[in-house]
Amino acid sequence: MKEILKSFGKQVIFWFLFFALSRIIFLVYYNKYLTGIDFISMVAVFWHSLKLDLSTVCYIMSIPFLLLTMQSLFSRNWMNKVILFYHSLIIFTYSLITTAELGIYDEWQTKLSSKAIKYLENPGEVYSSASTVVFFLLLLILFAQFFIGFISYKKWFWHKIQKSAGNIYFSIIFFLITPVLLGIGLRGGLQQIPINQSDAYFSKHDILNLTAVNSGWNMIHSIHQNFYSLEKNPFQYFKTGEAEKIVAEIHKISKDTTVRILKTDEPNIVMILLEGWSADLIESLGGEKGITPYFRNMEKEGILFTHIYSSGSRSEQGMSSVFGGCPATPLAQIARQPDKFVKLPSLTKKLFSKGYHTSYYFGGDLEYGNIRGYIYSNNFERIVEEADFSSSLPHGKLGIHDEFIYPILLEDLNNEKTPFFSVYFTLSTHAPFDIPNFKEPIQWPKLEKEYVNSAYYSDSCLGDFISKAKKTDWYKNTLFIIVSDHGHSSYKGYEYWNSDYQKIPMMFLGGAIKDEYKGTQINKYGSQVDIASTLLHQLDMKSDKFKWSKNLLNPYSPDFTYSAFEVGFNWRCANGEFVYDYNMNKYLDEKLPPAKKDSIEKAGKAYLQQVYREYFEY
């Protein structure tokens, strides 16, 4: 019994140490990127890496667990040799992955991903793309790391079991309990959201975040995420040249201009990202009266965009659409993949380059959907989430509700240097909707009673925040962008593929808006992707890096919107709409005039093909 546990424990310890060794090698090799980073932050890499390391160790130990169970009943020397060979193979594989990362980081600034598999199919090309000195240095590092790992494991951690424990009760307990512990470890604990790369992100220095992410775990996750696109674009409908031509025609504008709605070209910007707000919560957008009365009242002073549809159906897709101007894709999500999302343009970085002070607030845990990783990659100067707030604040199951965060946000903005760009991602309209008790909940006999009441609550918190913000000195020079991250089936019970499911509210508000535009509406079709171009044109800044984003305040910009769901997409324009399901290879809904049916279908399919092609090539 003692021998089995000793063997298991020594194997686990070895892998933690070996992972640490690979990180030390990486940091030493790329010490040129560590200039200006303090030693404490570098050491913190090893602390923040522990969760993903533990998950990886649990994956690795699944095979040794089975062998050790057998050895607890009957011991054979070949079993010891199998465990030695198994760990030797994993040591070499992990050494190969981390050494390859040393080779690509200078150019790609990412960890090794499934994309690299294609490059490894042509080793001659890999050799030619690196200098001879670097190539052989990397080979030396590969074999040195493997040799150190193998010798260390064999000498100090390989525990040969000479005879079995002979205790059937121990074998049964070991067999039943160990898989449970391994399962808990590999998912990162008993929390609601399984572990992902975000759990290792902690610094504004991207090299530290990437170093903390376990390379083996990242590779497995990348292969899983890219399963559908390892070989080819699954949405290849036309020849590339034809698709490019169609998409270019879609985005064509006869005049690059904009309606100037702001009094200044350098306003403060406060973005309120509303969690899961559907258009059906808004009376002016087709919803029933009384659900969001504060929003309704604010429309009198703002600019309401009446035909906005969420780019995707998840929060992380909303984030990459808002900050990266990147349309969501079916089958895969770019915000979950650090090797890809680092290549997106960044609205935050763009504003930072103009002197904006940036911050991001959320009352929950940003690990969900790898949002933390994506937000950190946008280089917000200050990121505040649940763990950073006082533990004395009332908590719901997913975090701290809106009414307790808004006052903190308001106080921080009162002390913020201008101009500032601050984002608050709300929480209260996310299931399980365990909002604090309030005096007059809506008596709602229909579907989604809890959701509707959470929106009623969240709306009151938003209204109170805007009311208090109006009394500040900075309000008169501030633009508020209020937009949902994605839609919801709402009380109308829309199917997940229905474009009305994706319809969301978006409003510009604040003292920076010219009086003549207050209380107006913009009826052009768009999505969160279009925020970047629309905003940057108001600031007299170039938006060409945001190639998928169009200026909603340009009367000549194209009038269409695209939304992705898990296995398909919908396309809507002034002339009609259609919904296409990839798995079933059929149209779920079509409302198109016969004369324009083919051209509209071509436009939507070509758009998705090019969006996915770009995602695929990142």
Same domain, 211 and 250: no
Question: Residue 588 is inside which H or E element, if any?
Answer: strand 586-591
> How many whole angstroms from its chain centre is CA 101?
22
Beta-bridged to residue 451, according to DSSP, are none
Q: What is the phi/psi pair of residue 324, to 5°?
A: -110, -5
Q: What is the pLDDT of residues 246-299, one digit of tens each?
A: 999 999 999 999 999 999 989 999 999 999 999 999 999 999 999 999 999 999
Kindly list the distances between the CA atom of residue 414 and the CA atoms of 107, 411, 420, 431, 473, in Å, as whole numbers in the listed order. 41, 5, 11, 32, 8
Looking at residue 612, what is its pLDDT?
92
CA distance 439 to 437: 7
Same domain, 436 and 556: yes
Same domain, 178 and 259: no
DSSP string computed for 510-558: STTB-GGGTTEEE---B-GGGHHHHHHHHTT---TT-TT---TT-TTS-
User: ω into residue 436 within 30 of 0, thus cis?
Assistant: no
CA distance 265 to 355: 13
**398 in Cβ contact with 364 (< 8 Å):** yes
Q: What is the pLDDT of residues 51-91, one digit of tens each?
A: 999 999 999 999 988 888 877 777 777 888 999 999 999 99
Beta strands in 297-436 (DSSP E): 303-309, 357-362, 382-384, 420-425
Beta-bridged to residue 364, according to DSSP, are 399
* Matching residue, tokens 């070499």: 92
CA distance 519 to 301: 5
**Residue 369 domain-assigned?**
yes
CA distance 601 to 618: 26
Last residue of a domain, one of 191, 225, 259: 225
**Residue 231 domain-assigned?**
no
Beta-bridged to residue 614, according to DSSP, are none
User: Quick one: tokens of 597?
Assistant: 């049916």
- What's the structural domain count of the chain? 2
Q: What is the CA radius of gyration of the chain?
A: 27
Same domain, 314 and 450: yes
Structural domain including 434 reads: 240-617
Half-sphere exposure of 161 (CA within 13 A, CB side): 30
Q: pTM for the full model?
A: 0.76
Same domain, 384 and 506: yes
Residues of the chain with pLDDT under 50: 119, 122, 125, 128-129
**Residue 234 domain-assigned?**
no
Looking at residue 129, what is its pLDDT?
45
User: Quick one: tokens of 461?
Assistant: 């918190």
Same domain, 280 and 369: yes
**486 in Cβ contact with 275 (< 8 Å):** no
CA distance 258 to 255: 9
Looking at residue 130, what is its pLDDT?
55
Last residue of a domain, one of 177, 201, 225: 225
**436 in Cβ contact with 403 (< 8 Å):** yes
CA distance 449 to 417: 41
CATH number at residue 522: 3.40.720.10
Single-letter amino acid code for the residue at 370? N
Listed in sequence order, the residues at least 6 apart from 416 whose beta carbon sits closer than 8 Å to its beta carbon are 357, 359, 422, 474
CA distance 320 to 253: 25
Same domain, 198 and 285: no
User: Quick one: tokens of 137?
Assistant: 């240095």
Listed in sequence order, the residues at least 6 apart from 69 whose beta carbon sits closer than 8 Å to its beta carbon are 171, 174, 175, 178
**573 in Cβ contact with 600 (< 8 Å):** yes
How many Cβ atoms are within 10 Å of 472's Cβ, its own excluded? 13
Q: What is the phi/psi pair of residue 73, to 5°?
A: -100, -45
Same domain, 465 and 593: yes
Same domain, 162 and 276: no
CA distance 9 to 157: 9
Three-class HEC string of 238-284: CCHHHHHHHHHHHCCCCCCCCCCCECCCCCEEEEEEECCCCHHHCHH
Helix axes 77-108, 132-152, angle to 10 degrees: 150
Looking at residue 238, what is its pLDDT?
94
Same domain, 262 and 163: no
**Residue 347 domain-assigned?**
yes
Beta-bridged to residue 425, according to DSSP, are 273, 362
Looking at residue 588, what is its pLDDT?
82
Same domain, 254 and 147: no
Beta-bridged to residue 479, according to DSSP, are 269
**Residue 474 domain-assigned?**
yes
**Residue 453 domain-assigned?**
yes
**Residue 436 domain-assigned?**
yes
> How many whole angstroms from its chain centre is CA 214?
18
Last residue of a domain, one of 225, 252, 279: 225
Same domain, 41 and 107: yes
**Residue 232 domain-assigned?**
no
Describe the strand order of the beta sheet including 576-581 as a list of residue ranges.
560-565, 568-573, 576-581, 586-591
